[in-house]
Chain A
Amino acid sequence: ETGVTQTPRHLVMGMTNKKSLKCEQHLGHNAMYWYKQSAKKPLELMFVYSLEERVENNSVPSRFSPECPNSSHLFLHLHTLQPEDSALYLCASSQVIHEKNTGELFFGEGSRLTVL
C-alpha cells in the first residue's frame, strides 16, 4: 500500500464514451501527477498539479482533461479517445519541495485503459 489509490483498476471503453479515472492520496501531499505508460515505452508525464493548480501540461491532447478539486483527489476525464490511447495511467503524489528538502513520488497501482 503506497497511500495512493486509483480507480478503476481496469477500464474498457469505446471511442465515443466519456469516462473518468480517479486518484486519491492519503499521505497529506500537495502535489499530484498523471503519467501514461504505453507498452514498451517509458512513463510519460502528462499533468502536474501543485497546491491544486495545474503547473504543467505536457502537450497532452484535449481529449484528456484533468481535474484537481482538492489536494487529495485527482481526476482524468476521458472523451472520444483513440485506440492508441490504450495504456496504463498512473497517478502519483508528492510533497511540494522547499529549500533543500527533496521529495519522492508515491505512485498508485495504475488504471489499465483499453480503448476499442
Chain B
Amino acid sequence: DAKTTQPPSMDCAEGRAANLPCNHSTISGNEYVYWYRQIHSQGPQYIIHGLKNNETNEMASLIITEDRKSSTLILPHATLRDTAVYYCIVRRDHGSSNTGKLIFGQGTTLQVKP
C-alpha cells in the first residue's frame, strides 16, 4: 500500500475551516484514500474515504487532486471537540480476499483553539 506524508501538527481557530493535507504520490489506480481520527485515549474513528471523486459527509469533505497524488480533509467549522490526531491512509481494495486492514502512520495532530 502507498505511503502517505502528513504534517506532524496544525492549529485551527474554533469556527474556522480546518484543512488537513496529505501527500500520497505513489498511490496506484485501485487504492483508496481513507481518513480516520483519534481523540486522546480513544479508538480511531472513521471519517471519510474516496477513490478519485471528491466526497462529502456529515463530518467532513475530502478533496482529491486530479492526479490523485494528494488530498485534503476539510472540517468546515472546527470545534474544540475536533482536536485529535488525524490519519490519512491509502489502502488497496484486493477484492474478495481483502480483510480491509489499515496501516497507520504518525498522522497530524490538529489543535483547535478558542
- Chain A contact residues, CB within 8 Å of chain B: 2, 4, 31, 33, 35, 42-43, 45, 48, 50, 55-56, 88, 90, 92, 94-110, 112
- B15 in contact (CB, < 8 A): no
Q: Which of chain B's residues have a CB closer than 8 A to the CB of A43? A: 44, 104
Partner of A108, one of B36, B41, B43, B107: B43
Q: Which of chain A's residues have a CB closer than 8 A to the CB of B43? A: 2, 4, 90, 92, 107-110
Q: Which of chain A's residues have a CB closer than 8 A to the CB of B93? A: 97, 100-102
Are B106 and A97 closer than 8 Å at their CB atoms?
no
CA distance A113 to B84 in the complex (A): 22
Known A-B contacts A88-B41, A90-B44, A109-B43; the reply to A103 vs B100 at CB < 8 A is yes
Q: Mark B48-86, 1 if CB is under 8 A from A, else 0.
A: 010000000000000000000000000000000000000
CA distance A15 to B3 in the complex (A): 36
Could you say which of B32, B96, B98, B106 has the most chain A C-beta atoms within 10 Å of its C-beta? B98
CA distance A75 to B82 in the complex (A): 31
- Chain B contact residues, CB within 8 Å of chain A: 32, 34, 36, 41-46, 49, 93-96, 98-107
Residue in chain B with minimal CB distance to A44:
B104
CA distance A56 to B104 in the complex (A): 16
Give me the 4 closest cross-chain CB pairs, A-B, nearest first.
Answer: A107-B43, A43-B104, A97-B98, A104-B46
Interchain Cβ contacts under 8 Å between A and B, 23 examples: A31-B99, A35-B104, A42-B104, A42-B105, A42-B106, A43-B44, A45-B101, A56-B99, A56-B101, A92-B43, A92-B44, A96-B100, A97-B93, A98-B96, A99-B95, A100-B93, A101-B93, A102-B100, A104-B49, A106-B46, A107-B44, A108-B43, A112-B41
Are B101 and A96 closer than 8 Å at their CB atoms?
no
